[in-house]
Amino acid sequence: MGIERISQLAAAPLQLLTDRLGQRGKNLWMLSQGRDNEQVTPLGQSSQLVEETTFTATTYEREEILDALRELSSALSGRLRRRSLRGRTISLRVVYPDRRQTVRTQRLSDFTDDFPVLLQSANDLLECTEACIIGVRELGIGLAGFSGEAVEQLDLFSAVELNKSQAV
* CATH classification at residue 96: 3.30.1490.100
pLDDT computed for residue 65 by the predictor: 96
54/19 Cα distance (integer angstroms): 53
Residues 81 and 111 placed together within one structural domain of the fold: yes
Instruction: Judge contact between 93 and 141, C-beta under 8 A.
Output: yes
Residues 29 and 53 placed together within one structural domain of the fold: no
pLDDT digits (tens, 9 = 90+) for 42-91: 566 668 999 999 999 999 999 999 999 999 999 999 999 999 999 999 99
pLDDT computed for residue 156 by the predictor: 55
Residues 93 and 135 placed together within one structural domain of the fold: yes
Those residues whose C-beta lies under 8 Å from the C-beta of residue 87, and which sit 6 or more positions away, are: 48, 49, 80, 108, 111, 112, 113, 143, 144, 145, 146, 147
In a domain, 161, yes or no: no
In a domain, 165, yes or no: no
Question: How many of the other CB atoms lie within 10 Å of CB of 123?
Answer: 15
pLDDT computed for residue 47 by the predictor: 84
102/160 Cα distance (integer angstroms): 40
pLDDT digits (tens, 9 = 90+) for 92-138: 999 999 999 999 999 999 999 999 999 999 999 999 999 999 999 99
**Number of folded domains that form the chain:** 2
Residues 31 and 78 placed together within one structural domain of the fold: no
In a domain, 5, yes or no: yes
Query: Which residues form the domain of 15?
Result: 1-36
136/56 Cα distance (integer angstroms): 10
Residues 14 and 52 placed together within one structural domain of the fold: no
In a domain, 16, yes or no: yes
SS3 content of the chain, % helix, strand, coil (to 5): 45, 25, 30
In a domain, 152, yes or no: no
In a domain, 104, yes or no: yes
pLDDT computed for residue 134 by the predictor: 94
In a domain, 168, yes or no: no
Residues 110 and 59 placed together within one structural domain of the fold: yes
In a domain, 67, yes or no: yes
Most confident of the following: 13-22, 31-40, 135-144, 146-155? 135-144
Question: How many of the other CB atoms lie within 10 Å of CB of 65?
Answer: 21
